[in-house]
Amino acid sequence: MPAARGLKRYLAILTIGISWAFLSMSFHQATTATAQSGRPLLATRVDGVDVTQDVSLDLVLPLGFTLSGNVRTADGSPVFSGFVRAQSDQETFTAPLVFTGFTSTYRLALPTGTYRLSVIAGLIDLSSEDSVPIFMTTDIPQAITITGDRTLDLTVSGLPTTYTVSGRVIGTGTSSARGTIQFRSTDETIFGFTQFDPEYRLRLPAGTYQVAVSFGVDEQGSVSMRVGEVAVDGPRTFDIELPATVTLSGTVKHADGEPAAPAQVLAFDVDELSSVDDPDEGPFAPSLFITGGIASIPEESATGGYTLSIPPGSYAVASIVDIDLGEGVIGQLAFPFPFLELDLVADTTHDFRLPPLPSTAVISGTVTDESGQPVAQALVSALSRSLVNASDAQFSSSTFTDALGRYALTVLRGSDYTVSVTPPQEFGSFATASHHGRGLMRSWVWPRR
């Protein structure tokens, strides 16, 4: 998925169903599509590709091995959703849990290596009338070495005693009083969420929790706010008053003055952003608790205008614009890059004017497996921060291979492109691979690292 769209979905994760959220958190899809040998195909990438003119680039998907099995709780209660995560020193892979009605299964495609496993399991207190799942993480104590296909059943902790937590979320200023409230334990092992309108109610185990809320303001944007910390040691009532907001508004236009649409303007609290170590750690990541928002500019906008209401503070701000590359091909451009820092202590106007963009070039070639067989419907993506005459922008685009494994990817001319390929996704099997420090998503959200 292009990095810009990944970023938009990354904030939207807080307002949609949790099962889809788990899939949306995955930024590099390395699925269990298989080669003729029956071994799963893995993602690959090439760094430092110069695309100041048309480039021919053939790519080979490496082969991996399958780690699969069942996931159960120690007390025999069902695991309704969640995922299994495998981490080495260089890479992180995840796969969703598939609930069969009796047990949950997982399937990971992994390269040879040694991995630390953890399970984030969605559990429901069946003795309670509340049916909202609570997600708990369990680290598997022993490291797992993969040199071939392997079956491994995993046992996770059962749900401890839970207590009813309820209250009201009170909007102020332009804040909405309808949305989603999230609770994440300070040790990052428990995650719960529910809707508020403005009342909310859910059950949580004892512990201390960070609290955040998120809501869609309207069709033109969404906002997330970190709102404090609470301690749960029994049934508790917490009323939460949303902070006052200021408005960031303006226009996004191309260099020739024409409105840029569709587009988004993104703003994230600088201090909260700098406290996040890793954006690829799943739904317990601190990044889900960063105050910020997205203002969307619809395609039909005649002005390129945007409005975003967020709490006062210092924000990292940028625009993301769809770029028409011709013949129905759309790329995404982030500008400025690194993000601009704005102190928003009162209503502020900021206009974005994109730099003159370079002409296009084409990266083309064939994607095959290690035996030379073509791979159809593989996703080929390219990203660069070094466009010709536009050094303060970042660009990405993507395409799919045809039935013969061929692709032709249109990009803006630039140097130091990273070209990534992920194999086609088979129904019912899904895994992700994110390279620490190298993920496309990281480069958008953490530009200063």
Over range 293-309, report the average pLDDT.
94
Q: Quick check: 440 and 280 in contact, CB under 8 A?
A: no
Taking 70 as the threshold, does the pLDDT of residue 12 lie above it?
Answer: no
* 386: Cβ contacts below 8 Å, ≥ 6 apart: 414, 415, 416
**What confidence tens digit (pLDDT) does each residue in 409-420 have?**
999 999 999 999
Q: What Cα–Cα distance (Å) separates residue 406 from each residue in 41, 379, 433? A: 17, 11, 23
Token couple for 42: 């893995």
Residue type at position 428 = G
Q: Which amino acid is at 440?
A: L
DSSP state of 356: P
Helices (H), 276-316: none
8-22, 84-98, 264-278, 282-296: lowest mean pLDDT where? 8-22
Helix (H) or strand (E) holding 319: strand 313-324
Per-residue pLDDT tens digits for 239-264? 998 888 999 999 999 999 999 999 99
Closest CA to 309 of 251, 217, 247: 247
Alpha-carbon distance 431 to 93, whole Å? 6
Give the predicted TM-score (pTM) of the model. Answer: 0.82
Q: 236 - beta bridge partners?
A: 165
Residues 6 or more apart whose CB falls under 8 angstroms from that of 332 comprise 2, 3, 4, 5, 320, 321, 322, 323, 395, 396, 397
- pLDDT tens for each residue of 55-76: 999 999 999 999 999 999 988 8
pLDDT band at 422 (very low <50, low <70, confident <90, very high): very high
Residues 69 and 154: beta-carbon distance below 8 Å: yes
User: 53-58: long-range contacts at Cβ-Cβ below 8 A with a sequence spacing of 24 or more?
Assistant: 53/361, 53/413, 54/361, 54/362, 54/363, 54/364, 55/361, 55/362, 55/363, 55/364, 56/364, 56/365, 57/363, 57/364, 57/365, 57/419, 58/365, 58/366, 58/367, 58/368
- pLDDT over 90 at 2, yes or no: no
> Residue 279: pLDDT above 50?
no
- Please choose, from the candidates 107, 113, 190, the residue with its C-alpha nearest in 3D space to the C-alpha of residue 156: 190
Reference 249, options 220, 211, 276, 214; nearest CA is 220
Q: How far apart are CA 351 and CA 371, in angstroms?
A: 52
Q: How many CB atoms lie within 10 A of CB 426?
A: 13
- Decide the pairing of beta strands 414-422 and 386-387: antiparallel
158: pLDDT confidence band, cut at 50, 70 and 90? confident
| Predicted local distance difference test score (pLDDT) of residue 8 | 37
Beta bridge partners of 230: 209
> How many C-alpha atoms does 25 have within 13 Å on its Cβ side?
28
